[in-house]
A and B are shown apart, each in its own frame.
Chain A
């Protein structure tokens, strides 16, 4: 029983990591209607920037804030410069371009920073807390907490601010939005900027747990995909919940389903994606998108 609890708690903390990246994915999907395959690598790269600043002697929170600002600007810039020319192209074109970005970020990070793992400081102490028979580190709690906090901020932003509403309007109806005077192009860029920012938060939260290296995000990205699919790509809350669920599913399946064990963990993510799409393609919390022919 204690073991089960420990696995669940440990799964929840890993889930926080998936949740934060899933949130970034969903953000771009909601803002622009595409999935950014380079999301994980962008997050990784910005985390390296933070690492560089911290190593240069900046205090953690200063580096954190500066990284968020750079990430936001980089996201906007990437949308304006790289995505813009193919903005109206079919989804697949943008997917291709994002895959191009994925390989570029990955190999440039490897080139500049090498593939040796680097420790990344955490704002939360790693002291364990005893919760009855199980222990959880403050760091794990922090990761989950920050993902939830970012979710709340995003919820408020998209529900209750003019800018957020404008961004949602652009996705629902670009032509109509343009007619009422919303600058569609900039709204899309803003979406990329925000996603990049959330991704940077995810990267900086994850790095202390898994260590900083160029492939840090690739395994996490696939779980984030599964989380977002499970929760529903057009539901930010669903994606975060999906993230926590994935973390727990991963651990429980790995521990208790013996033929899978820990050897087929990635396949679990694949199975979750396929099953969700087969049984409930919109995910647990997604809405059915109706398109006019």
Chain B
């Protein structure tokens, strides 16, 4: 009995040993495919944080449309057979909340990547964390120029044209087309405003910088900005660069008109909404204002018969009927979601975090249906700025009218030397 029971022990040991080796080898083989968290045979888990409550909640609609777009993708069979499970938390634009919610996404929900987190301060709060944990912070929705830093932060990538690029386009236009420019600038006193300011000043270059006769700043908490506008007018400026968020943009445009100042006006793209800025400011007052755009404005009747725009309207009607299709934010959500789907499709079955970043950094001439024609998404391992081009447009009293050619904006190399 005793013997018998002992005998099979030897082969069992061998079997166990062999199994062990096989397991180790198996594990080894598995790590070669490096399956990161958040991916199964049927699902890709994607995380996000965005402001759904609080003062910045107007941006929340972008991510609601993103979620709707992923529902559409899932209804059509998903990506290579995998459905997208999109988990988006409210951070009310508060950086510590973003940090907390992002940790929840990464450590508790085990998402594959963080897609399109919104806002410069929230993204700054998780910047280091994402790069330390090597989780993609992909296509962040902010125009700060610091997101394109492949060397220092290889896991973070921007999407929209940076404030810096955009402002450099305005500067080039001033140098080329306005001979005796005396420039007055109004900017919001934070890194968003200063990024624009830097782009504009660098775009003018040393000799052009003398053209700036006055700079005024304001705080987001200021009730009114009349005093700044009066100062700008009194400085004798004939070009007004308006680097402000929507409410202040509307106030500025109206006040400029009201005090009888008639400069050439540039309005930053952040506030280029017809409904939220130019309408409250008054269409008469807004006439002639210029801005740089990269997407088709869904409220513009010019695109009434555009097939891409029609598809967009039909999509929203079906998947996010509560959203206002004329709100350009929804078009942004549509386009940014398409960019991610493009990258995921190209990644095929190799859905590792590293491979997704690799694919995201190798996009060639991708034109999405709702981008202006001629504006291409291009990235490379050294270029983490997907959209860099802008089309200038002038407000004609009813809508933005594109004019001239597509400009390529400058990239802020200096911001990356930190």
Contact = CB atoms under 8 A, between A and B. Distances in A.
A223 B222 CA distance: 10
Contacts of A135: 258-260
Contacts of B53: 107, 110-111
Given A7-B230, A255-B227, A126 B258 contact: yes
B328 to A, nearest CB: 12
A213 B277 CA distance: 13
Contacts of B230: 3, 6-7, 10
Interface in A210-246: 210-211, 213-215, 218-220, 223
A261 B217 contact: yes
Interface stretch (A22-30, A65-73, A115-123, A177-185): A115-123
A276 interface: no
B234 interface: yes
Given A262-B222, A265-B222, A118 B258 contact: no
A51 to B, nearest CB: 12
Given A10-B226, A117-B276, A110 B259 contact: no
A210 B251 contact: yes
Contact of B231 (A3, A117, A119, A214): A3
A97 interface: no
Given A110-B57, A117-B276, A126-B258, A263 B189 contact: yes
A137 B260 CA distance: 11
Contact of A265 (B219, B259, B277): B219
Given A110-B55, A114-B57, A117-B246, A219 B223 contact: yes
Nearest to B235: A3
B279 A115 contact: no
Contacts of B221: 218-219, 265-266
A128 interface: yes
Contact of B234 (A2, A17, A115): A2
Contact of A117 (B216, B223, B247, B260): B247
Contacts of A219: 221-223
B227 A254 contact: yes
Interface string A251-276: 10011000001110110000000000
Contacts of B360: none
Contact of B228 (A115, A137, A213, A262): A262
B15 interface: no
Given A10-B230, A114-B57, A262-B219, A209 B246 contact: no
Query: Among the interface residues B217, B230, B250, B277, which one has the most CB atoms of the partner chain A within 10 A?
Result: B230
B232 to A, nearest CB: 11
B216 A128 contact: no
B25 interface: no
B94 to A, nearest CB: 14
B173 to A, nearest CB: 27
B311 interface: no
Question: Interface range on chain B: under 10, 10 to 19, 20 to 34, or 35 or more?
Answer: 20 to 34
The secondary structure that dominates the B interface is: helix
Query: Among the interface residues A116, A128, A137, which one has the most CB atoms of the partner chain B within 10 A?
Result: A116
B205 interface: no
B89 interface: no
Contacts of B319: none
A115 B51 CA distance: 11
Interface string B57-74: 110000000000000000
B279 A119 contact: yes
A7 B55 CA distance: 30
Interface string B25-65: 00000000000000000000000000001111110000000
A223 B28 CA distance: 66
B224 interface: yes
Given A3-B231, A110-B57, A126-B258, A210 B224 contact: yes
A9 to B, nearest CB: 9
Nearest to A117: B247
A89 to B, nearest CB: 31
Nearest to B233: A6
Interface string A70-113: 00000000000000000000000000000000000001001100
Interface in B215-263: 216-219, 221-224, 226-228, 230-231, 234, 246-247, 250-251, 254, 258-260
Nearest to B225: A262
B280 interface: yes
Contact of B280 (A211, A215, A255): A211
Interface in B186-233: 189, 216-219, 221-224, 226-228, 230-231
Contact of B223 (A3, A6, A118, A223): A223
Contacts of A110: 53-55, 57
Nearest to B273: A116
A193 interface: no
B217 to A, nearest CB: 6
Interface in A2-19: 2-3, 6-7, 10-11, 13-14, 17
Contacts of A17: 223-224
Query: Among the interface residues B58, B246, B275, B280, which one has the most CB atoms of the partner chain A within 10 A?
Result: B280
B224 A209 contact: yes
A116 B323 CA distance: 14
A260 to B, nearest CB: 11
A110 B247 CA distance: 15
Contacts of B56: 115
A143 to B, nearest CB: 11
A175 to B, nearest CB: 41
- Nearest 7 pairs between A and B by C-beta? A119-B280, A219-B223, A251-B227, A117-B247, A3-B234, A10-B226, A220-B223
Interface of B: 53-58, 189, 216-219, 221-224, 226-228, 230-231, 234, 246-247, 250-251, 254, 258-260, 275-277, 279-280
17 contacts: A7-B227, A10-B226, A11-B227, A14-B226, A107-B53, A110-B57, A115-B55, A116-B246, A119-B250, A128-B259, A128-B260, A135-B258, A214-B55, A218-B221, A265-B219, A265-B222, A266-B221
Interface of A: 2-3, 6-7, 10-11, 13-14, 17, 107, 110-111, 114-119, 126, 128, 135, 137, 209-211, 213-215, 218-220, 223, 250-251, 254-255, 261-263, 265-266
